Amino acid sequence: MKVCIAEKPSVAREIASVLGANKKCNGYFEGNGYQVTWTFGHLCTLKEPQDYTADWKRWSLDCLPMLPPRFGIKLIPGNATYEQQFQVIQQLMQQAEAIINCGDAGQEGELIQRWVMQKAGAKCPVYRLWISSLTEDAIREGFANLREQKEFDRLYEAGLSRAIGDWLLGMNATRLYTLKHGQNKQVLSIGRVQTPTLALIVRRQQEIDGFRPEPYWELKTVYRKVTFSSVKGKFTQKEEGENFLERVKGTDFEVTDVVKKKGKEAPPKLFDLTSLQVECNKKFSFSAEETLKYIQSLYEKKVTTYPRVDTTYLSDDLYAKVPNILAGLVGYESLTQPLKGKKLPKSKKVFDNAKVTDHHAIIPTGVPARGLSEAEMKVYDLVTRHFIAVFYPDCEVSKTTVSGRVETVDFKANGKEILHPGWRVVFDNAAAVPTEVSGDGEESEGVLPAFEVGESGPHEPVLKETWTSPPKPYTEATLLRAMETAGKGIEDEQLREALKENGIGRPSTRAAIIETLFKRDYIRKERKSLYPTQTGTDLIGTIREELLKSAELTGQWERKLRMIEKGQYEAKTFLEELKAMVREVVHDTCRQTNILCPQCARGYLLRGNTAYGCSQYRNGCNYRIDYADCSKGLSEKEILKKIYHSSNKS
């Protein structure tokens, strides 16, 4: 028998149906030469500290760092259902002529299934089913093109490195900070991705709390019901603005230039998981976790493709399948009919093999979407409209800039007119509704009236007082974008795409990280805004080791994990680097005092063998005071007095 192992019972049922394995047995389906069984996601996990040595069961600084020479796995304890299902899997695998790994086609899916196969002691050949949707055609095509397991060894190595890295940092740093600063009251949970993400939120709140609003003034004038802004920009002194206001009073406004520029706007890109979570948070206030749940359900209902992806592109081979997908979109006939029978565009902005790794962007499969919940339908509708829109023409616009002058003071207003909506009709023709014309120098969606160069007339000038605004709190949408770019607030789409390699977390894990911060009471939500709790703020304040809080450094680790996946970096090297960092963090934190460095005022003093030094030594602070000048056996309070006495003398 060939044994197929899926990640969920529902997926196993679909595969069994396609293969003709219709006999229901205890924990598997059988028939036509196949046995199809399943896991429940993770059945196995890395061993816990006490599984390596009894000494590590005790939380003690003397036991740190915990660095197992070889990591092992075990069944997740305390779940009778998991144990029973594993027994079924083990028995089937030990009698199998071949095993087909039908787990989710991604890094986490590879790791989950490989651990189960290792634990079950599988010895026969193993093949991989690699598909992007659960439609009957996709499953049949996948089984017709099964791949050797060894093709995915690097993917497994990257997943294993990620899991071990999280264990090394999480287990050691959590115990270290709990023992040093938990005051025997609470566990201070530290994570490789969790802590830098929390640090982003805490730092943003500190920026908001420390913000001091300052006034500025803008000179504007209304001519023919259009607001024009002075090109002088903002005035930081009211008197200067008032002087300009006096100069333009009582004199007619004259139009000096009208520039019309036709342009095109390309359709919005297809979705990867992060951009879908961002859009659903903005439009429907869905959390990242909720969006992932809905799109995963749509995938399992066969109506959308594999969701845990980080690309917004399609592979070239999908182009031939597009007409059939469009034809199957029930309820969207009015939008797909104009495309029927036409040669569809094949843009590099949509089809690019170089931008597709394991999977392509999230798109509909063409299977009719029936029986969806209201929330699922909202997500499905977004995915489907974006897919249809990329085959529509560009939106043609006319951008108008009108310049004017009063005395020697120049003004400007911008407007935009939709000439041919193109792809915008796919989104309920929302672009046809004009919005209020903006005269703040930024592009508006409104249409300006016709102006002639040389025309003039009365106007209504005003000096508008405005106050600078603090940074906005993160929402889940903006936090996901920050995680995607390792804390850099990048709005430019192309630049953001380039920084994805250095993002913290993976598209498939970011939602879970945010949920973990909620569950541990490190953050809270008010409407859409995210705020750190006092517990979360205190935790980040307690962690003085910047390595544990740095989104940029975590992003570099993520890049190396991707390089392991591509065979460009050794997993062994990555783990040795992490072990070295864990040793360093433990060493420095155990030596750290509560004395602020008198030189840089950023770091804290560390106890060395012969002297005190600053914890910011890696960042250039060379402060040092020998024990000869500051007795070793004193309390921190007494040491502090001596340090400042010594510093003042020098």
Among residues 444, 453, 430, 436, which one has the least CA distance to residue 400? 444
Question: If you write DSSP's letter for every residue of 455-477 in order, what string do you get?
Answer: -EE--EEEEEEEE--PPPPPBHH
Q: Hey, which residues does 455 pair with through a beta bridge? A: none
Structure-block tokens of residue 398: 């006319």
Q: Which residues are catalytic?
A: 306
Angle, CA 101 vertex, CA 96 and CA 107 arms, to 5°: 150
Instruction: Identify the H or E element spanning 195.
Output: helix 194-209
**Cα–Cα distance between 176 and 584 in angstroms, integer?**
12
Question: Under 8 Å CB-to-CB from 518, ≥6 apart: which residues?
Answer: 524, 525
Cα–Cα distance, 190 to 554 (Å, whole number): 13
Helix axes 374-389, 288-300, angle to 10 degrees: 80
Which amino acid appears at position 161 of this protein?
Answer: S
β-sheet bridge partners, residue 532: 523
**Cβ atoms 116, 38 nearer than 8 A:** no
The token pair that represents 557 in the structure block: 């680790």
Contact indicator for 300, 134 with CB cutoff of 8 Å: yes
**Would you call 478 helix, strand, or coil by DSSP?**
helix
| Gap between the Cα atoms of 552 and 200, Å rounded | 11
Q: Tokens 């201070």, residue? A: 188
Interacting residues of 307 by C-beta distance below 8 A, sequence separation 6+:
273, 276, 292, 295, 296, 298, 299, 362
Please give the single-letter amino acid code of residue 578: L
CA 327 to chain centre: 33
The Cβ of residue 31 has, within 10 Å, a number of other Cβ atoms equal to 16
d(CA 110, CA 128): 9
Name beta bridge partners: 497: none
β-bridge pairing 529-532 and 523-526: antiparallel
For residue 480, give the 3-state DSSP assignment.
Answer: helix
**Can you give the C-alpha Rg of the chain in angstroms?**
31
Beta strand extents in 452-551 (DSSP E only) = 456-457, 460-467, 523-526, 529-532
CA–CA dist 588, 548 (Å, integer): 12
Q: Is there a contact between 466 and 216 (Cβ–Cβ < 8 Å)?
A: yes
Task: Specify the DSSP element, H or E, that contains 56.
Answer: none
